[in-house]
Chains A and B, each alone.
Chain A
Amino acid sequence: DIQMTQSPSSLSASVGDRVTITCRASQSISRYLNWFQHKPGKGPKLLIYAASSLQSGVPSRFSGSGSGTDFTLTISSLQPEDFATYYCQQSYSNPPENSFGQGTKLEIK
């Protein structure tokens, strides 16, 4: 099984800050990496797919990079609505058992 590890597990930041979340795969997954935003009471929202492609309708302050085993999600200038939990997910293996990282909770400082 491919294991996905995110860091940090939690992060405090202020509106306007630049934030980076990292995700590491236990083996190479090429660019088969998605990023989700999850808010309480809602379903997860796809932000980034194929490591760096922005899903339709997602603000351009979100960006993704990386390939192989190391990936990053960057929010260039935090907005109040960005405080949420973020998950990476590998889509290299199918079915997607253990495909999600453990999550990064982004909180207001």
Chain B
Amino acid sequence: EVQLVESGGGLVQPGGSLRLSCAASGFTFSSYDMHWVRQVPGKGLEWVSTIGTSGDTYYPGSVKGRFTISRENAKNSLYLQMNSLRAGDTAVYYCARGDQLVRNYFYYYILDVWGQGTTVTVSS
């Protein structure tokens, strides 16, 4: 079964750090882009970071310089190191698999497998 399982969430003080993990199973982890997406309480989904199969990384301005995404293919694991955490980072964090499908000769990018999420609370 294709599965993603996040862990590492918890309560942390503002300015603190936390490392999230995502364990992948049931597919060839190294062959896929991987993403972190979060949902702030009462708000919608927000993309947090992406790591490609070659290790290239991408971040939105809201977390750039504070968060670092990484992967360890030998362990089928994805990570998110979060530093200088703020109250606004309080959210449920999901890892997701990226894939491309072809329809009518066009490539379409999808986030087709998601974990159940891990909750991060930033509060004093």
**Chain A residues at the B interface, C-beta cutoff of 8 Å:** 30-32, 34, 36, 38, 41-46, 49-50, 53, 55, 87, 89, 91, 94-103
Partner of A43, one of B43, B59, B106, B116: B116
Main SS of chain A's interface residues? Answer: loop
Partner of A50, one of B4, B45, B106: B106
A43-B108 in contact given A87-B45, A95-B47, A103-B45 (Cβ < 8 Å): no
- Complex Cα gap A36–B44 (Å): 12
In the complex, 15 of the A-B residue pairs with CB atoms within 8 angstroms, ordered by the A residue number, are: A32-B109, A34-B111, A43-B94, A43-B114, A43-B115, A44-B37, A44-B114, A46-B110, A50-B106, A53-B101, A53-B108, A91-B109, A94-B109, A95-B60, A100-B47
**Chain B residues at the A interface, C-beta cutoff of 8 Å:** 4, 35, 37, 39, 43-47, 50, 58-61, 94, 96, 101, 103, 106, 108-112, 114-117
Tell me whether B47 and A103 are in contact (CB under 8 A).
Answer: no
